[in-house]
């Protein structure tokens, strides 16, 4: 999923797991009736649409019970077949069933843990599809059965579907459960949908929200509703060989869907504030203590919403090439100070990402700041025009910008993968890692180069430095970046490769090819594939086209193999140059012996420096050699696939005092900082290096915890 949540997990342990104080955990009081909200006076888009193919369009009607934490809903999907061949079944995600029992794929993989949160043993969640009706070619079809697709190696038995009396659609008599995992439902079609044809599918369904755990659910009065409705899969593949992509819900995978138009009406108590994807187009009091709020969103691929009777709202405006974007932050009263920080970060993120890539085209973005102690499992998640943030903590005072960073990261996902709707399941790095790379640019632009993440009590650090400090030994990650999300062996591998290594690899590539050229290439990619489903291949081919150069020499080892760059100074050797070479020369009677007297020392030193790259990724690098007399020699080592070492020979009037590999810190895809800065003084060198390392890690730790 997209979020700094996972990117810097160690920081979240401090920030998200710490209370703001007693005010945050105390009872907020009895809910009061809220004034009926005014509809938003602006359209869903601030630019001319449509911007996408609008393949999957939803009309959803919701009744919400905040006491039982339940949703009763009906939806009509209008789906157009984008393939070049007929489609005979329609698969739907039922993500909420991931929280139904311990045998779901998600729960088995997570063992009931997600980030720093644990699943409740009593607050299970699920979704029941109670009716299905298909309308196609002017014929209404009620399928004989619906298949719930299993997870890997899941045996199972058929089971009954519970019918809800009074549904306007013909109810299904039964549903088949081939396996315990029930996160994918398949609707077979009697009549295939031909290429370009549109089919209409009605579903009635009920949702029991889980106690908030992984992105969605409730805690006390707070409700975050994500991944909650039956959501059709995506047709992928080359023309003529298309297939459905609709995987079971895995622990490390996020979401992948087609763009469309959403019209969603939500009936809620009149005591609740609601925020949702899109804009509010209607608000009606029902006269029974409830009201119906209607939302409209265009060119989005998901819909999420939040309901809470104790939420306040602050608002600001961002400007871009299309016009004005309203930025709203929803927060509990005790979080007002943090809400102002999130608002500033959200406004800046909209403006900076718009300038870097593609202008934000929607008229509104809602930023939800969940109660940090109770509902932190809902924090740090992205949906189109709607994100949740986190980081509010005693350990994040002004200047320790973890809250700002999380907001920037989640807002950034409205580009990667809100507009650039890549497959987060198969290529998680293409949204999370690319977004991580872009986040550091935005943070530096908003808060200062070199202090974007921390500027507090004399400590300054960029988000880039913090990521690098948290990166550990990159060559020990057991899977390449380009690994399907659910095939990583553990969370640490997934997070390190998908977030950190990808961000560092792209920053390294940027430094190699040139910052301005690389950022122009990134903009070219974004503009070319906005509101499409780009792949990793599309990403790199766009960069190559914009840069006018091949990148396989770097992309292949950095993204498709394990390992990283690992430069070291292996040896430094200096000796006086002799006026004449000493030794025995010639043969037989012609032998000549040159003695020290014949070949005295000169005032010139000949020095050799041996540089090795024991990592898997080749990268050009600069080496700075400093001499005792203060002179400097700089050498550029070019890329070589078949040579992992370089010997530099230099003559000077004094010996080498110090060798620094990558003095400009361009090769950041190298977490080994030792043996990259070596002094030759045998007495002081080791002590200085040890002290420097200790100082670096001590300072980093202090910056992380804010002490």
SS3 letters across 113-156: EECCEECCCCCCCEEEEEEEEEEECCEEECCCCCEEECCCCCCC
- pLDDT at position 90 is 93
Q: Which of 596, 573, 568, 593 is nearest to 583 (CA)?
A: 593
> Where are the domains positioned within the chain?
55-258, 435-556, 567-666+673-681
Per-position b or e across 63-72, b if 16+ CB within 10 A of its CB = bbebeebebb
- pLDDT at position 142 is 52
Task: Please say if the pLDDT value at position 703 is more than 50.
Answer: no
**pLDDT band at residue 57 using 50, 70 and 90 as cut-offs:** very high
pTM: 0.87
Topology, domain 567-666+673-681: Immunoglobulin-like (2.60.40)
CB atoms within 10 A of CB 19: 16
Task: Please say if the pLDDT value at position 155 is more than 60.
Answer: no
Range 532-551 average pLDDT: 97
H helix intervals, 568-666 = none
- pLDDT at position 17 is 40
Output the six-digit token pair for 669: 């895809």
- pLDDT at position 471 is 67
Q: What pLDDT, in 10s, does the model give residues 328-352?
A: 999 999 999 999 999 999 999 999 9
Helix, strand, coil percent values for the chain (each to nearest 5): 25, 30, 40
**pLDDT band at residue 76 using 50, 70 and 90 as cut-offs:** very high
Task: Please say if the pLDDT value at position 151 is more than 90.
Answer: no
Share above pLDDT 90 across residues of the chain, in percent, rounded to a whole number = 66
Range 44-62 average pLDDT: 97
DSSP letter for each residue of 550-594: --HHHHHHHHHSS----EEEEEEEEEEEESS--EEESSGGG-EEE
DSSP β-bridge partners for residue 613: 567
- pLDDT at position 465 is 79
Task: Please say if the pLDDT value at position 438 is more than 90.
Answer: yes
- pLDDT at position 30 is 87
* E strand or H helix that includes residue 356: helix 336-356
- pLDDT at position 146 is 52
- pLDDT at position 55 is 98
- 435-556, which class in CATH? mainly alpha
**Cβ atoms of 83 and 331 closer than 8 Å:** no
DSSP β-bridge partners for residue 312: 331
408 against 113, higher pLDDT? 408
**pLDDT band at residue 691 using 50, 70 and 90 as cut-offs:** very low
pLDDT averaged over every residue in the chain: 86
390 phi-psi bin (left φ>0, alpha ψ -120 to 50, beta other): beta
**pLDDT band at residue 557 using 50, 70 and 90 as cut-offs:** very high
H helix intervals, 398-535 = 402-412, 432-447, 463-469, 491-495, 502-513, 515-529
Share above pLDDT 70 across residues of the chain, in percent, rounded to a whole number = 85
**pLDDT band at residue 594 using 50, 70 and 90 as cut-offs:** confident
- pLDDT at position 682 is 56
- pLDDT at position 403 is 96
């Amino acid at each position: 999923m997209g979020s700094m949540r996972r990117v810097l997990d160690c920081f979240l342990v401090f920030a998200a797991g710490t209370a703001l104080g007693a005010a945050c955990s105390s009872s907020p009081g009895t809910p009061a009736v809220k004034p009926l909200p005014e509809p938003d006076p602006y359209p869903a888009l601030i630019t001319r649409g449509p911007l996408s193919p609008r393949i999957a369009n939803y009309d959803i009607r919701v009744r919400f019970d905040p006491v039982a934490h339940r949703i009763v809903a009906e939806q009509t999907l209008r789906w157009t077949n984008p393939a070049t061949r007929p489609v005979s079944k329609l698969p739907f995600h039922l993500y909420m069933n991931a929280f139904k029992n311990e045998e779901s794929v998600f729960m088995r993989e997570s063992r009931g843990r997600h980030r720093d949160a644990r699943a409740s043993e009593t607050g299970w969640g699920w979704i029941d599809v109670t009716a299905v009706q298909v309308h196609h070619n002017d014929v209404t079809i009620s399928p004989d059965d619906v298949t719930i697709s299993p997870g890997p190696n899941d045996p199972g038995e058929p089971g009954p579907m519970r019918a809800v009396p009074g549904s306007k659609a013909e109810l299904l008599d039964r549903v088949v459960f081939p396996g315990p995992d029930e996160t994918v439902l398949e609707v077979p079609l009697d009549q295939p949908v031909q290429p370009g044809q549109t089919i209409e599918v009605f579903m009635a369904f009920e949702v029991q929200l889980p106690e908030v755990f992984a992105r969605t659910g409730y805690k006390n009065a707070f409700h975050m509703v994500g991944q909650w409705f039956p959501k059709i899969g995506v047709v992928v593949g080359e023309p003529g060989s298309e297939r459905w992509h609709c995987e079971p819900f895995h622990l490390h995978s996020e979401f992948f869907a087609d763009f469309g138009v959403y019209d969603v009406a939500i009936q809620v108590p009149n005591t609740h504030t609601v925020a949702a994807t899109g804009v509010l187009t209607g608000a009606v009091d029902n006269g029974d203590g409830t009201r119906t709020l209607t939302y409209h969103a265009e060119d989005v691929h998901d819909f999420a919403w939040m309901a809470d009777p104790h939420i306040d709202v602050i608002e600001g405006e961002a400007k871009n090439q299309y016009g004005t974007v309203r930025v709203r932050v929803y927060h509990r009263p005790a979080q007002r100070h943090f809400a102002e920080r999130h608002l500033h970060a959200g406004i800046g993120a909209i403006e900076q990402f718009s300038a870097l890539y593609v202008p934000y085209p929607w008229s509104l973005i809602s930023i939800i700041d969940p109660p940090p102690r109770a509902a932190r499992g809902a924090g740090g998640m992205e949906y189109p025009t709607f994100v949740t943030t986190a980081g509010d903590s005693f350990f994040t005072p002004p200047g320790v910008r973890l809250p700002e960073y999380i907001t920037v990261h989640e807002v950034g996902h409205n580009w990667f993968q809100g507009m650039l709707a890549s497959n987060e399941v198969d290529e998680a790095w293409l949204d999370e890692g690319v977004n991580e790379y872009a986040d550091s640019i935005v943070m530096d632009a908003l808060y200062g180069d070199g202090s974007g993440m921390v500027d507090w009590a004399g400590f300054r650090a960029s988000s880039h430095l913090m990521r690098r400090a948290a990166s550990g030994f990159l060559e020990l990650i057991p899977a390449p970046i380009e690994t399907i999300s659910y095939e990583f062996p553990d969370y640490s591998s997934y997070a390190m490769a998908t977030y950190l290594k990808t961000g560092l690899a792209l920053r390294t590539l940027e430094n190699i090819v040139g910052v301005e050229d690389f950022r122009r290439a990134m903009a070219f990619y974004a503009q070319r594939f906005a509101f499409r489903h780009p792949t990793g291949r599309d990403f790199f081919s766009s960069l190559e086209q914009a840069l006018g150069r091949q990148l396989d020499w770097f992309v292949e080892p950095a993204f498709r193999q394990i390992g990283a760059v690992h430069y070291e100074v292996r040896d430094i050797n200096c000796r006086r140059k002799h006026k004449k070479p000493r030794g025995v020369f010639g043969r037989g009677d012609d032998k000549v012996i040159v003695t020290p007297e014949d070949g005295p020392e000169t005032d010139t030193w000949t020095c050799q420096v041996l540089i090795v790259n024991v990592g898997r990724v080749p990268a050009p690098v600069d080496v700075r050699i400093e001499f005792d007399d203060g002179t400097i020699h700089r050498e550029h080592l070019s890329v070589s696939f078949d040579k992992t070492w370089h010997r530099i020979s230099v003559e000077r009037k004094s010996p080498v005092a110090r060798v620094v590999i990558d003095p400009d810190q361009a090769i950041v895809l190298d977490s080994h900082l030792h043996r990259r800065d070596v002094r030759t003084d045998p007495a002081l060198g080791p002590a200085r290096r040890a002290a420097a390392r200790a100082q670096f890690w001590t300072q980093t730790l202090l910056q992380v915890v804010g002490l």
